Structure 1
Amino acid sequence: MTTTATPVAAAPGARPRSRSLAWVLIAVGVPMFMVTLDNLVVTTALPVIKTEIGASLSDLSWFVNAYTLPFAALLLTAAAIGDRIGRRRLFVAGIALFTLASAACALATEPWMLTAARAVQGVGGAMVMPLSLTLLAAAVPERMRNAAIGIWGGISGLGVAVGPVVGGAVAEGLHWTWIFWLNVPIGVLAIVVVRLVLTESRGSAKRLDPIGLVLVSLGMFGLIWGVVHGSDDGWTSLSVLGTLIAGFVLLAAFVAWERRAPEPMLPLRLFRSRAFSAVNVVAFLFSVGVFGSVFLLAQFFQVVQGLGPFGSGVRTLPWTAAPMIVAPIAGLLVGRVGSRVLIVLGQVLLALGLLWIALVSTVDVGFGSLVPAFVLAGIGMGLTFAPLSTVALGSVDPGSQGMASGTLNMVREFGVAVGVAALASVFASQGSYASGTSYVDGLVPAVLVGAAVVGAAAVAGLLLPGRRYLTTPNSSH
């Protein structure tokens, strides 16, 4: 039996058409998978790229940051533009830009070329990520939405899970350029599927808010640039401190402007919803604690135990692959037990998993001692992804779902940047890369801090509304 989904909030004049749920998930999931994959896929190939194109250590950091900075800074802006000009239209444009930039990355022969192409990739990724979730919500009937978002969360988890593994496998078995060439045929096919399967939809606001777009984009760019460079350049250096202050000032100006803008890109009334405010707090704390810890743990097997990039990526799979299985299940359970139970339970399991890792980590710890903790943390992540998105969309009216998705993704990406920088600073204060022992000396206190932050996310999750809230989305909260 084929399950069909009908569009919601279609553009004026658009002709509704029935689509199978499987094709809808392919249309929104494949582009989002490419975007999440490329967030991490290059990291394990950096040593090979360094040798091939003569890159410096500074270049290597920019190969990662050039993607991360525009991606995180432009998420909210892309969601706002998509609401105005058409979500499917901007989604397709984002896939096309990402695909072309991937080809440019593969063709790069100088470090600056790869850096520039990665930046364009980040812009395309910012256009894809928030609109993927919004288009899914618009294309799926309400009765199937929780399950669909759960599957979407699993696909997102798959991108995170296989990124380091794919990067390591390609770098060791093929040529590093294939990391990017693989995106080209997939991107072309994705554009065709999106145009055939998805119907256009828009948000409630009709006009752009150019002042708001500029203020929030520059403000987020300043904050993320400062956070990313803080641990390396020094938190009190002029460049870092200056960009952080500028970022805060610009975001304060953005909030002030949104209060008086005739058609604000981010209506501040959304934050009157306890659910919307609380879910963004949880998302930020969750991202800080988890991804800051993952950043250090991902290097543990290479730095301390001497494994290659592919072997290291495989050993993280008990953690990173678990969300692929758990997230769809969480989507099915949301309507029965409510998001609050799943989110709080997820954070508790994550905190326990991180605490376990910190307590058993030594230079010669066996992989078997880490597997239960990795599985525990992976289950916690899987219980978190889908319910966070469900609450964010369910706490606003359909016309504001694009902005809700953009805000949630922006907060999460900012949390990732803060987590990596903050826990790297904790690591540097207690340890170093000089030896395996020194690395573990820094790793343990950093992961303990990560566990404490995730514990705070569990407490914040208690502020979320209970089960009844989820069965009546878009109601007054």
Structure 2
Amino acid sequence: MTQPSPPAAAILTEEKDPWPALFALCLGFFMILVDTTIVSVATPAIIDDLGASVNDVVWVTSAYLLAYAVPVLITGRLGDRYGPKNLYIAGLTVFTLASLWCGLTSSIEWLIAARVVQGLGASMITPQTMAIITRIFPQARRGLAMALWGATAGVASLVGPIVGGLLVDGAGWEWIFFVNVPVGAVGVVLALRLVPRLETHTHSFDWIGVALSGIGMFLLVFGLQEGQQKDWAAWIWLMIIGGVAVLAAFVVWQHFNRREPLVPLGIFRDRNFSLANVAITAMGFTITAVLFPFMLYAQLVRDLSPTRAALLLVPMAIMSIVLARPVGLLTDRVHPRLLVSAGFALLFVSMVWLSHEMTPDSSTTAVIAPMLFFGIANALIWAPNSATATRNLPLHQAGAGAGVYNATRQVGAVLGSAAIAVFMDARLAAAGLHFSPSEGGTTGGLPQQVLAPFSTAMSEAMLLPAVVVLAGLVASVFFERPRHEGYGGNVSASESAGAGSGAPASAG
């Protein structure tokens, strides 16, 4: 006979200090997010070695993001049902083995296939990290813990290209994937030792919702990304319209599904949760989209090696790391709209500024200042927004809330990857260049006569994510003060104990 799960409070007494568990979770989370952006700096090397086009290599990222985004809704529920620790370890194992496969591939098609499996592993990991943190930390410390989790996401997004540049120059593009194997093995061992077991809950699974969301996302992303290459043929438009229609049907189904919908629409009644999802979608779009034109500019116009191109991002990464703890401490004390809206405003300024500096004759020092602003903005957005998203949700919805939040972030990243490929092609065509980022042959710099128009096209492409940033700014301006009594550092003992035990909490 199956033994019932022990009470969460009893389980957590085995792990009195939750910080070691947070460290173990952040290691795996960091690794999978590094792989979201690490391919951008290896684009020219993969093109040359595998005989691919830039559009093919964009699919290396898009396939990963798509396989990451679609299942993340249900993997959050699977964590609630079978235990978030078990799902986390299973996902980390799948991700690590798929990383080995990626490094061993010899064709672009197999690389894309391996990245799909990698994305499936990542989708099992992410919602578990957020759900476990929500359940093992008391209210008094949950803001700081979630802030450090969010800071991990921000730093990983920036460190990916830097690590990628060093590995591509030093060992070859395959090593951007091989490096995950030892890190993943260490992550599994740490999770087994440090992450506590938590109470499980029985769930029914909305397979119709899974099918609708998966089909809708695939149709929309494929249509957007391939549209420019197929001259926006009628069948491309049918795919895009069909994708939107299927996603609309998914939302309708979630409303009328009276059993247990994949996305419980009721959680969107919390204003902060809804607005934080808009903000993180904009951030996912921006971080993914901005790296493609910037890395192509740095390597093709400035003729920098992958390492030197990635080092242009160092000021951004340093500011994100330095500010992670101070911003985390402020997250529990300052109204979230102040931090997040300031971050989005700075992000918009830094991107427009960076676009202005992307010329053939600009100096390296000219890029440093906007990169510093970018890093400050990054720190102000990721951590406070993540903490704000889940702060008002009841703990028994931790898995669902984490799944939705991470799904919307990944949807933004998928759309950013697809949209920037289209926009880069469009700006190059408007500049009258026969060269296209879809035609390959991009290593070794560009002929002198096309440097200026290519720079202009890439700098204009940077403005697309800058515009999307404004959606995040508008959303964050309307954040409300979190409703629980402990906000601002004044948490009652009973509330702290209840939060730490994983017991259901009021939605406010």
Q: TM-score, normalised by structure 1?
A: 0.89
2-structure distance, mates of 1:364, 1:278: 41
Q: Does 1:376 align with 2:391?
A: no
2:197 to 200, 203, 209: 200
Q: Does 1:37 align with 2:34?
A: yes
Contact 2:61 2:417 in 1 (8 A): no
1:245 to 241, 247, 252: 241
Q: Does 1:396 align with 2:402?
A: no
1-structure distance, mates of 2:118, 2:485: 35
* CA pair 191-218 structure 1, distance change in 2 beyond 3 A: same
- Deviation of residue 289 (structure 1)? 4.3
Partner of 1:6: none
- Deviation of residue 52 (structure 1)? 4.1
Aligned positions of 1:140-289 closer than 5 A: 140-201=137-198, 206-234=203-231, 236-259=232-255, 260-289=257-286
1-structure distance, mates of 2:458, 2:172: 32
* CA pair 203-389 structure 1, distance change in 2 beyond 3 A: farther
* CA pair 323-470 structure 1, distance change in 2 beyond 3 A: farther
Partner of 1:125: 122
* CA pair 271-121 structure 1, distance change in 2 beyond 3 A: same
* CA pair 261-213 structure 1, distance change in 2 beyond 3 A: farther
2-structure distance, mates of 1:362, 1:57: 21
Output one character per residue of 1:142-164: Cα deviation in whole Å (capped at 9) or x when no partner.
21111112222232233222211
1-structure distance, mates of 2:123, 2:348: 29
Contact 1:100 1:184 in 2 (8 A): yes
Contact 2:204 2:259 in 1 (8 A): no
Partner of 1:364: 361
Output one character per residue of 1:378-403: Cα deviation in whole Å (capped at 9) or x when no partner.
10111000111111111311111222
Q: Does 1:79 align with 2:94?
A: no
State the one-letter code of the partner of 1:276.
F
- Deviation of residue 470 (structure 1)? 8.3
Contact 2:12 2:197 in 1 (8 A): no
1:346 to 331, 343, 348: 343
Partner of 2:326: 329
State the one-letter code of the partner of 2:473.
A
Partner of 1:446: 461
Output one character per residue of 1:318-337: Cα deviation in whole Å (capped at 9) or x when no partner.
12442222233222101111
1-structure distance, mates of 2:318, 2:459: 23
2-structure distance, mates of 1:67, 1:385: 21
Contact 1:224 1:414 in 2 (8 A): no
Structure 1 residue matching 2:331: 3-state secondary structure = helix
Q: Which has the higher contact order (CA 8 A, sep 6+)?
A: 2
State the one-letter code of the partner of 2:96.
T
* CA pair 246-17 structure 1, distance change in 2 beyond 3 A: farther
* CA pair 475-295 structure 1, distance change in 2 beyond 3 A: farther
- Deviation of residue 203 (structure 1)? 6.8
State the one-letter code of the partner of 1:161.
L
Structure 2 residue matching 1:337: 3-state secondary structure = coil
1:465 to 480, 489, 499: 480
* CA pair 115-233 structure 1, distance change in 2 beyond 3 A: same
* CA pair 428-471 structure 1, distance change in 2 beyond 3 A: farther
Output one character per residue of 1:322-381: Cα deviation in whole Å (capped at 9) or x when no partner.
222223322210111121110111011111112222334322111222211111121011
Partner of 1:94: 91
* CA pair 43-19 structure 1, distance change in 2 beyond 3 A: farther
Contact 1:298 1:316 in 2 (8 A): no
* CA pair 252-19 structure 1, distance change in 2 beyond 3 A: same
Output one character per residue of 1:61-108: Cα deviation in whole Å (capped at 9) or x when no partner.
443333222112222122222222222211111011111111222222
Q: Which runs of 5+ in 1 are unaligned?
A: 1-8
1:116 to 113, 117, 120: 113
Output one character per residue of 1:137-188: Cα deviation in whole Å (capped at 9) or x when no partner.
2222221111112222232233222211222211221233332222222212
Partner of 1:407: 404
The RMSD of aligned alpha carbons is 2.7
Contact 2:336 2:388 in 1 (8 A): yes
2-structure distance, mates of 1:47, 1:360: 22
2-structure distance, mates of 1:415, 1:364: 33
* CA pair 170-449 structure 1, distance change in 2 beyond 3 A: closer
Q: Does 1:436 align with 2:451?
A: yes
* CA pair 46-265 structure 1, distance change in 2 beyond 3 A: same
199-208 or 371-380, which deviates more: 199-208
Contact 1:393 1:404 in 2 (8 A): yes
Contact 2:37 2:288 in 1 (8 A): no
Output one character per residue of 1:267-303: Cα deviation in whole Å (capped at 9) or x when no partner.
1111111111111122223333454333322322112
334-343 or 247-256, which deviates more: 247-256
Q: How many residues align?
A: 468
1-structure distance, mates of 2:153, 2:43: 23
* CA pair 181-285 structure 1, distance change in 2 beyond 3 A: closer
State the one-letter code of the partner of 2:167.
V
Contact 1:289 1:450 in 2 (8 A): yes
Structure 1 residue matching 2:404: 3-state secondary structure = helix
Aligned positions of 1:54-65 closer than 5 A: 54-55=51-52, 59-65=56-62
2-structure distance, mates of 1:448, 1:346: 17
Output one character per residue of 1:292-316: Cα deviation in whole Å (capped at 9) or x when no partner.
3333223221122111111000012
2-structure distance, mates of 1:173, 1:163: 15
- Deviation of residue 217 (structure 1)? 2.6
Q: TM-score, normalised by structure 2?
A: 0.84
2-structure distance, mates of 1:417, 1:136: 26
Contact 1:150 1:329 in 2 (8 A): no
Contact 1:84 1:208 in 2 (8 A): no
- Percent identical: 30
433-442 or 275-284, which deviates more: 433-442
